[in-house]
Amino acid sequence: MILPPIFSADMRNIAMQPKRLTALSAATLLTFMQVVSADENESEWLFVQTSQGIQTTDENALVVPFDREVFAFTDRPDRKHQYLNAHEFVSVWTESGDSFEADPPNAILTWTEDGVVQELEIELLNAKVEDFGRTLLYELSTADAERTRHIPDTDVSIYVDGGFLSSMSQFGCDMSFGRAC
């Protein structure tokens, strides 16, 4: 093998030893594949809660009736989805080291006011189940705290940015895209 003179003597020695180069390349590739496969084993979960009404106790708290289950889902390639009751959803704040308690999620609260969709960016610091699972109390932070006090009691949706939550595996029935449990 002839290399151009721009390569140093060391580079020419490496190129002349294809077995060593192949072994080094294989080891690098294996390490990379292990890192990628570790990340692929974890799914990033997102959550959606809808409710018929909402109450604000102050600029740092929302009381949301729990009308139906929270819908949880992942993106490609996994495409899993699950429905969580109030207790299951709140446990995502505390059940593991990668919980929402350790890294509070961002969320968007949306509602319609005078025919116009309104939205408010919030960070959900904590969630508690109240009224025997019929209400969720969210502690939150937002840059627009004054606006939080003036959210009308109307239908709302809360879109919660998730994360790689190992605690999601505890809920049993993972449904993958196109297949039932």
Q: Are residues 89 and 114 in the same domain?
A: yes
The residues, any chain, with a CB within 8 Å of residue 5's CB and separated by 6 or more, are none
Percent of the chain clearing pLDDT 90 (strictly above): 34
Domain count, the chain: 2
Q: Are residues 68 and 147 in the same domain?
A: yes
Assign 116 a pLDDT band (cuts: 50, 70, 90): very high
Q: Are residues 164 and 78 in the same domain?
A: yes
The residues, any chain, with a CB within 8 Å of residue 22's CB and separated by 6 or more, are none
Please give the pLDDT value at position 164. 66
Q: Are residues 57 and 92 in the same domain?
A: yes
One DSSP character per residue, 60-111 reads: TEEEEE--SPEEEEE-TTT-EEEEE-HHHHHHTTTSSTTSTTTSPPEEEEEE
Q: Are residues 25 and 71 in the same domain?
A: no
Q: Which residue has the higher pLDDT, 51 or 75?
A: 51
Range of the domain at 125: 44-176
Give the mean pLDDT of the chain: 74
Assign 2 a pLDDT band (cuts: 50, 70, 90): low
pLDDT at 51 over 90: yes
Q: Are residues 13 and 64 in the same domain?
A: no
Range with the poorest average pLDDT among 26-40, 61-75, 91-105, 138-152: 26-40
Give the integer Cα–Cα distance in Å for 100 and 142.
16
Six token digits for residue 51: 């409710």
Are 158 and 49 a contacting pair, CB within 8 Å? yes
Tokens 């292990």 correspond to 34
Rounded to two decimals, the pTM is 0.70
Q: Are residues 35 and 62 in the same domain?
A: no
In this structure, is residue 181 part of a structural domain?
A: no
Q: Are residues 36 and 48 in the same domain?
A: no
CATH number of the domain residue 143 falls in: 2.40.30
In this structure, is residue 2 part of a structural domain?
A: no
What would the pLDDT profile of 134-163 be if each residue is shown by its tens digit?
Answer: 999 999 999 888 888 788 888 999 999 987
Q: Which residue has the higher pLDDT, 94 or 178?
A: 94
Give the integer Cα–Cα distance in Å for 44 and 166.
10
pLDDT at 7 over 80: no
